[in-house]
Amino acid sequence: MHREVVDVIQRALEEDIGPGDVTSQSCVPVDRRASGTFLSRAPLVLSGVSLLPAIYEARGGVEELTVFREDGERLREGDRIAAVRGPARTLLECERVALNFLQRLSGVATLAHEFASMVQGTTCRVLDTRKTTPGLRRLEKAAAACGGVTNHRMGLFDAILIKNNHITAAGGVRQAIENSRGAGLPIEIEVRTLDELKEALASHATHLLLDNLSPQQAEEWIRIVDGRATVELSGGIDLDNVRSYAETGADFVSCGAITHSAKAVDISFRLELL
């Protein structure tokens, strides 16, 4: 498990439990044992179940943890996700953190699946973005991939994406592209006008980002590109119009809503005494 994921699990537990779960310590005997089951309460795409072992291990471990379903699986209402057995206090103090991860990440995966399903049959792929919850990017991007979309760059370090403010700061489209060639990384450039589009193509740009166009405008601009560069569309893309954008001939559509606006799904934890 990646160090960032281990760290975020630890921080989440510390945030919730602090110096101790005073409710469980007050009313649950220290030697009380219990079992618990995670259940889907609605259709969903699962993500985050792989975190459960690390969550319980961080609080001293449990006697048994059985995972019935894997990240990326499509679940129906009532499906069992995982079962755990051990000290009742441990199960109770980990309950909310485990559910928060499962509900949030499965929400991202479920919404990602909806977007991916909407473009099936086209040659266009859906990309996620960097519009993620601070500190949860690695997990949310993994969840998006579980849902069937393609991960865009992880951060500012693994690919060059020249946007409008970079173009302004660099002194123009051509200069921004030329300045970036020595980095040895993939280069994508956002163009806002037809003049910028033509300048980017004349500068041998290989990946273009066309932002805030209507599907009709995007189709016209893609005809001008004529296969000389890959094309990504972004801006205002949602479930209602993503199919129209995908049918313009674009190679990619990107949508920040997959991570910044996903609704947590309904997953429950049912505890029983042993």
For the annotated catalytic residues, the residue numbers are: 96, 131, 163, 190, 211
Helix (H, G, I), strand (E, B), or coil: what is residue 71? coil
Helix (H, G, I), strand (E, B), or coil: what is residue 192? coil
The dihedrals phi and psi of 155, each to the nearest 5 degrees, come to -160, -160
Q: 138 exposed, middle or buried (CB, 10 Å; 0-12, 13-18, 19+)?
A: middle
Q: For tokens 């001939």, what's the residue? A: 249
Helix (H, G, I), strand (E, B), or coil: what is residue 204? coil
Q: Which two tokens stand for residue 257?
A: 């809503």
Strand order in the sheet with 33-40: 64-67, 80-87, 33-40, 267-273
Q: b/e per residue, 30-53, with b = 16+ CB within 10 A?
A: eeebbbbbbbbeeebbbbbbbbbb
Tell me if 217 sits within 8 A of 197, measured CB to CB: no
Half-sphere exposure of 136 (CA within 13 A, CB side): 18
